[in-house]
Structure 1
């Protein structure tokens, strides 16, 4: 978040071959955007803009989770054109800001089963893997429920694999999504009495009501 009103330098093409088409916002080309601002109001605006950028980037590339240590070197957090990067502690602070808004969820250190860390202090201090909710689990649940309704599959049993990789879901937003994020959405439907999950971890089935 820049503290001056000077024009940003020319916007170079991203050096990452995986994301040349992502339209970075103008703030991304200000060096001050990568430096933690000391003014509380400006810093809050900075966190808000970083949150919006991360979610837009994740949606564009269909990223459902990031590993902080690896992401720190990505073009999302490292603008090589102006040689500025967001430090890992600052990345963690932005992600914890997103967590409080329901847009990110930390995994506990060493945990891989999708259980999230509900503690603010633990989430801020530990965990390298973070779910990114450019759609919240409730929103994914609504999309899955709408798909089941539109395709007349109430009462049917679908596997998790069919939902994420099956031919019938091609063209839907949840095709190819992270299985753990999908499970969070499905569990919301279970709690609402709209679905039942059964089977082993490797071959989970879902019956919709």
Structure 2
């Protein structure tokens, strides 16, 4: 199960998620590119809905489950761009997400449903998930933590650090905060930022965004690690 979204609404999966071939790596290059595009869009939408900033890709079992063949045309959506056919190989996989709670504590959320459709008994295997993540990385929408392509934790940028930086800078202008000093806690957990899109932002992602403003000479970060402050110019 996942944590509730800020609105409390459950995520609505796209129709491709309910076609078994969607979980099969396609051999045709054009179809495979369309498949990666749709999976990437799904990952970004899902993470945006639940405000997930990091995904941890971990195998729950060293063994694989049964291989199933799904080649019937009745399983293929009528939209040509959604056409996916082939053989589905499944492995046990659980994806977890790191989200920031309102009191800045970090919690881990099981997001297995993102890559595992229990109703269809289909799941994307780990190598294919990594291919989706790599597709997002090339598009600037994901990044392996520690820049290790074999790592387990990845940032999912449904908003890039640059986009977060722009949102923060706009808020600074709108609230006349230039020249004032704010703690990083105030930015993501303070009453003055409640209701903004960056309220509850992951602290590391916040720093990535602020570093962009620092490089543009729009902000300065100072203080100790547990009590960092920022001044906007």
* Distance in structure 1 (CA, Å) of the matches to 2:126 and 2:184: 34
2:164 maps to: 140
Query: Over residues 148-178 of structure 1, what are the superposed CA-to-partner deviations in whole Å (9 max), with x where a residue is unaligned?
Result: 1111110011111111111110000000011
Q: Number of matched residues?
A: 180
Question: Comparing 152-161 with 17-26, which one deviates more in the overlay?
Answer: 17-26
| Cα distance per residue 1:10-51 (max 9 Å; x no partner) | xxxxxx364672110000001111111011111111000000
| Separation in structure 2 between the aligned mates of residue 200 and residue 44 of structure 1, nearest angstrom | 46
Residue 55 of structure 1 corresponds to 44
Question: Is 1:21 matched with 2:45?
Answer: no
Q: How does 1:146-157 map to 2 (within 5 A)?
A: 146-157=170-181
Within 5 Å, give how 1:140-179 maps onto structure 2: 140-179=164-203
Q: 1 or 2 for the larger relative contact order (CA 8 Å, sep ≥6)?
A: 2
Output aligned runs, 1:1-209, within 5 Å.
Answer: 16=1, 18=3, 21-69=10-58, 70-71=94-95, 74-108=112-146, 117=147, 122-123=148-149, 126-209=150-233
**CA distance in 2: counterparts of 1:164 and 1:201, whole angstroms:** 16
Q: Scaled by the length of structure 1, what TM-score is found?
A: 0.83
Runs of 4+ displaced beyond 2 Å: 16-20
**Deviation per CA, 1:120-175, whole angstroms, max 9, x where unpaired?**
xx52xx10000010011111000000011111110011111111111110000000
Distance 1:182 1:50 in 2: 26
Quickly say closer, same or farther: Cα 1:99–1:205, change in 2 above 3 A: same
Query: Root-mean-square deviation (CA), in Å?
Result: 1.4
Instruction: Classify the secondary structure of the residue corresponding to 1:131.
Output: strand
1:138 counterpart SS class? helix
Q: TM-score, normalised by structure 2?
A: 0.75
Report deviation, 1:66: 0.7
- Higher helix proportion (structure 1 or 2): 1
